[in-house]
Amino acid sequence: MLAFRLVSVALLTAGCTHARDVPDTAEHRSLFQHWIDGTDASEPQTQTQRYDTDTFVIRQSVRTNPEAPFLYLLFGKDRALLLDTGAGGLMIRPAVDAAINQWLVEHKRTAIPLVVAHSHGHGDHQAGDAEFRDRPDTKVVGLQPAEISGFFGIADWPNSIARFDLGDRVLHVIPTPGHHPAHIMIYDERAHLLLSGDSLYPGRIYIPANLLADFQASMDRLAGFLENRTVSHVLGAHIEMTRKPGVDFKPNAPQHPDEHILELPVSDVAELRAAVRAMGDKVVREVHDDFIVFPLPPRLPPAPASN
């Protein structure tokens, strides 16, 4: 496993600050400093921290939207990828542009192309898309399987996995429908990160009743891909669990005191896969230490993908 160094960042723009320290207990030691969690009335609208020199993580305050999603900004030599654009209730582009500008200054560059993609198409992950449509040298990827397949070169959705090179930084785009018909995960070959969106995170893993088979197949596909690969950490799109194993916050909670850390161990992939496989053909609510499988009523079937 690679050793990583946390680089905290204070971006000189409204809404981005240093994170606060958190207790460094054995069971709750985190890669990151304390994330904004709604408990401080003066907290900024966004907070940016760095996983490493070329990887920024941006959180939207729960005070702007109860989903409080995480966005990921990854830099390669040739281009950058932004995964998700937030849940609305604020302007998200200033935080993204501030991180890009800092990276450019550090690398003595004036510009870098930006690709804006999404873990999936739910509103809390694409509400800020319009802010990027007129941004220079920026491509906003669509929300449908066919659009995602066409851009990343996924030959057979959802069975194929695409390779997307940012320039000396190869990402693998893994179709993982189930939570949403167009859900993807991103595996970062260089940092050994798995960006897991809403299909695995410290919170409620929502699965529509009619999409359980898709979710099961996606977890099988993911497990097969990860076999013989190193995953240092799994980083999802939300935090909905408390630090107490198996206990979540109420939906739309305005504050998240003592919340679970963001990162999950790769062993949770196998745990979730085994859990949904054991359910057969019916989603049931099942509580685990780091996540809760949560059934939803049937949703519209996914649109077919074509290239």
Here the CATH number for the domain that contains residue 234 is: 3.60.15.10
Q: Let me know if residue 111 belongs to a domain.
A: yes
* Residue 237 to residue 285: CA distance in whole angstroms: 20
Tell me the H-state helices in 153-282: 212-226, 267-278
Query: In the prediction, which pLDDT does 79 show?
Result: 98
* Residue 154 to residue 161: CA distance in whole angstroms: 6
Query: In the prediction, which pLDDT does 302 show?
Result: 53
CA distances, 174 to each of 145, 190, 192, 277, 283 (Å): 12, 16, 14, 19, 23
Q: Let me know if residue 4 belongs to a domain.
A: no
**Reduced to 3 states, what is the DSSP secondary structure of residue 196?**
strand
Beta strands in 105-208 (DSSP E): 114-117, 138-140, 162-165, 170-175, 184-188, 193-197, 204-208
Query: In the prediction, which pLDDT does 25 show?
Result: 41
Q: Which of 197, 238, 210, 223 is nearest to 275 (CA)?
A: 223
Please, what sign has the CA dihedral across residues 216, 294, 227, 161?
positive
Instruction: List, in order, residues 6 or more apart from 155 with CB less than 8 Å away.
Output: 149, 162, 307
Say if CB 292 and CB 134 are below 8 A apart: no
CA distances, 219 to each of 12, 45, 71, 106 (Å): 40, 34, 22, 38
Query: In the prediction, which pLDDT does 29 show?
Result: 67
Query: In the prediction, which pLDDT does 278 show?
Result: 98
| Count of CB atoms situated within 10 Å of the CB of 104 | 15
* Residue 9 to residue 7: CA distance in whole angstroms: 6
Cis amide linkage into residue 295, ω under 30° from 0:
no
| Count of CB atoms situated within 10 Å of the CB of 265 | 13
**Sequential pLDDT tens for the chain (307 residues):** 333 333 333 333 333 333 323 333 434 568 999 999 999 999 999 999 999 999 999 999 999 999 999 999 999 999 999 999 999 999 999 999 999 999 999 999 999 999 999 999 999 999 999 999 999 999 999 999 999 999 999 999 999 999 999 999 999 999 999 999 999 999 999 999 999 999 999 999 999 999 999 999 999 999 999 999 999 999 999 999 999 999 999 999 999 999 999 999 999 999 999 999 999 999 999 999 999 999 999 987 655 554 4
Q: Let me know if residue 29 belongs to a domain.
A: no
Instruction: List, in order, residues 6 or more apart from 270 with CB less than 8 Å away.
Output: 223
Tell me the H-state helices in the chain: 93-106, 145-152, 212-226, 267-278
* Residue 39 to residue 307: CA distance in whole angstroms: 46
Query: In the prediction, which pLDDT does 303 show?
Result: 53
Tally of structural domains, the chain: 1
**Phi and psi for 73 in degrees, rounded to 5?**
-120, 115
Please give the residue range of the domain that contains residue 286.
46-296
Query: In the prediction, which pLDDT does 41 show?
Result: 94
Query: In the prediction, which pLDDT does 2 show?
Result: 33
Query: In the prediction, which pLDDT does 14 show?
Result: 33
Q: Let me know if residue 12 belongs to a domain.
A: no
Query: In the prediction, which pLDDT does 7 show?
Result: 36
Say if CB 188 and CB 274 are below 8 A apart: no
Tokens of 240: 């909905």
User: What is the crossing angle of helices 212-226 and 267-278, to 10°?
Assistant: 150
Q: Let me know if residue 9 belongs to a domain.
A: no
Q: Let me know if residue 7 belongs to a domain.
A: no
By DSSP bridging, strand 55-60 and strand 46-52 are antiparallel
**Reduced to 3 states, what is the DSSP secondary structure of residue 293?**
strand
* Residue 65 to residue 69: CA distance in whole angstroms: 8
Q: Let me know if residue 35 belongs to a domain.
A: no
Query: In the prediction, which pLDDT does 299 show?
Result: 87
Say if CB 7 and CB 55 are below 8 A apart: no
Q: Let me know if residue 64 belongs to a domain.
A: yes
Say if CB 77 and CB 166 are below 8 A apart: yes
Query: In the prediction, which pLDDT does 280 show?
Result: 98
